[in-house]
């Protein structure tokens, strides 16, 4: 039997149930992976409440990405063998001791990367890299504002922004999170709550910021858009604070700027070749020690619900990971 932390009815993290289920069969083109670690991401908060873009059939386990070792391969699997260490992009289902997935959901675990780091790598860094490179066209020397900069995608964006040669301004909610953003390369940090985002941005970037990366939403989005430079790019990533803001569209006109949606999951399905290229560039950045996932805490599988609760309560910095 396989231990799985199941969502049996949409609800809070406390309603997840640790169960023993029979192992799934391995079909054509599929592999079985013994999971060592699963990354926790904001979509896990939403998916167990039935509030995410995808609504898997109940019961299902949360967990959109993981790392482990292949234990079995099905017919027609071409690129992997038992014993290979891999990163698995699951969408959901990774809060489990093992998973069966098609081989196109795998990437090799880069040498020197732990299972914990591997399980916390692609969803954040590949989202942010796609956002900055293809959607934001971030150029060396430009100014990048990152909101929620000490969170999962936020911290990855701070590191990537620096690796791409930008000046990075980080927005965070506490001094502890400010220190983390600084330690990961932010040139300046704004602690919103203590100082008004718009006022401080006027001081730090009088001609405006070239690219805004916004995974937070709420009141911050409009303040950031009002601070954008001529021909700036405003990247719509997510709404971790809850409210989806309504933006006066005249701002886009006045700034001559672009408001650009980023949907990484759809991008990987629609443009798999560009995605693969992005992943290989991210592995090179990891090998060059320019990026490294910050795993701040691990939780045993049985406490996976607590990991999601801590993310909901804004207690998480960088990435947290469930281990099997
Ligand atoms: N578009 C895509 O393809 C894509 C891909 C991945 C993730 N996302 C989205 O990106 C967002 C972040 O995901 P994540 O996994 O990085 O989550 P996370 O680690 O929890 O980070 C979210 C950050 O948002 C900030 N935040 C939360 N509530 C806030 C509030 N009320 N006011 C201000 N800031 C608040 C928190 O920072 P502070 O506490 O410092 O404020 C936190 O660090 C989610 O909405 C997720 O769905 C989108």
| CB-CB contact of 30 with 103 (8 Å) | yes
For residue range 111-127, what is the model confidence (pLDDT) as tens digits?
999 999 999 999 999 99
Computed over every residue of the chain, the mean pLDDT equals 96
Residue nearest to atom 41 of ligand 1 (CA): 173
DSSP lists the bridge partners of residue 6 as 17
DSSP annotation of 15 reads G
DSSP per-residue letters across 247-315: --THHHHHHT-EEEE--HHHHHHH-HHHHHHHHHHHHHHHHTTS----EEEEEEGGGHHHHHHHHHTT-
Atom of ligand 1 nearest to the CA of 262: 1
Tens-place pLDDT, residues 12-41 = 999 999 999 999 999 999 999 999 999 999
Distance 250 CA to ligand 1 centre (A): 26
* Tens-digit pLDDT profile for residues 245-303: 999 999 999 999 999 999 999 999 999 999 999 999 999 999 999 999 999 999 999 99
Ligand 1 pocket, residues with Cβ under 6 angstroms: 41-43, 123, 127, 148, 150-154, 172-173, 177, 215-216, 218, 237-241, 262-264, 311, 314, 316
Burial call 73-105: b when 16+ CB within 10 Å, e when fewer: bbeebeeeeeebbbbbbbbbbbbbbbbbbebeb
Q: Which residue's entry shows tokens 């996932």? A: 293
CA of 84 to the centre of ligand 1 (A): 32
Per residue in 73-92, pLDDT (tens digit) is 999 999 999 999 999 999 99
Spacing, Cα 148 to ligand 1 middle (Å)? 6
Nearest residue (by CA) to ligand 1, atom 21, is 151
Q: Is the peptide bond before 274 cis (omega within 30 degrees of 0)?
A: no
Which H or E run includes 122? Answer: helix 122-130
pTM: 0.94
What CATH class has 123-265? alpha beta
Distance CA 251, CA 228 (A): 10
Residues 6+ apart with CB under 8 A from 260: 135, 136, 233, 234, 235, 236
Task: Say how far apart CA 163 and CA 186 lie, in whole Å.
Answer: 11
**pLDDT tens sequence across 296-323:** 999 999 999 999 999 999 999 999 999 9
pLDDT of residue 173: 94
DSSP string for residues in 200-226: HHHHH-TT-EEEEEESS-THHHHHHHH
* Distance from Cα 153 to the centre of ligand 1, integer Å: 7
Nearest residue (by CA) to ligand 1, atom 32, is 241
Q: Where are the domains of the chain?
A: 2-121+293-323, 123-265
The CATH T-level fold of domain 2-121+293-323 is Quinone Oxidoreductase; Chain A, domain 1 (3.90.180)
Q: Using the structure block, give the residue that is written with the tokens 């040498």.
A: 111
Q: Which atom of ligand 1 is nearest to the CA of 266?
A: 3
Q: Tell me the CA–centroid distance for residue 116 and ligand 1, in Å.
A: 20
Beta bridge partners of 33: 70, 99
* C-beta separation of 108 from 120 below 8 A: no
* Confidence (pLDDT) at 53: 85
């Amino acid at each position: 039997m396989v231990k799985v932390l199941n969502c049996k009815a949409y609800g809070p993290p406390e309603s997840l149930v640790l169960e023993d289920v029979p192992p799934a069969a391995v079909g054509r083109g599929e592999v079985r992976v013994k999971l060592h670690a699963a990354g926790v991401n904001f979509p896990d908060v939403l998916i167990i409440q039935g509030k995410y873009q995808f609504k898997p059939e109940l019961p299902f386990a949360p967990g959109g990405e993981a790392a482990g070792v292949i234990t079995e391969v099905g017919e027609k699997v071409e690129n992997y063998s038992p014993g290979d260490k891999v990163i698995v992009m699951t969408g959901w289902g990774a809060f489990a001791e093992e998973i069966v997935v098609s081989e196109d959901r795998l990437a090799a675990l880069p040498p020197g990367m732990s299972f914990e780091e591997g399980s916390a790598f692609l969803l954040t860094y590949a989202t942010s890299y796609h956002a900055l490179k293809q959607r934001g066209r971030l150029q060396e020397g430009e100014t990048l504002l990152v909101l929620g900069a000490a969170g999962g995608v936020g911290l990855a964006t701070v590191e990537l922004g620096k690796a791409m040669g930008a000046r990075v301004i980080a927005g965070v909610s506490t001094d502890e999170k400010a220190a983390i953003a600084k330690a990961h390369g932010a040139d300046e940090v704004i602690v919103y709550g203590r100082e008004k985002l718009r006022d401080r941005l006027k001081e730090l970037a009088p001609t405006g910021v070239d690219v805004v990366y916004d995974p937070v939403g709420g009141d911050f989005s409009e303040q950031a858009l009002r601070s954008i430079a001529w021909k700036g790019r405003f990247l719509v990533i997510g709404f971790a604070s809850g409210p989806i803001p309504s933006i006066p569209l005249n701002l886009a006109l006045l700034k001559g700027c672009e408001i650009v949606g980023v949907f990484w999951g759809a991008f990987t399905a629609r443009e798999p070749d560009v995605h693969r290229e992005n992943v290989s560039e991210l592995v090179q950045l990891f090998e060059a020690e320019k990026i490294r996932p910050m795993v701040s805490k691990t939780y045993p599988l049985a406490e996976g619900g607590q990991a999601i609760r801590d993310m909901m309560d804004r207690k998480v910095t960088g990435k947290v990971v469930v281990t099997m």
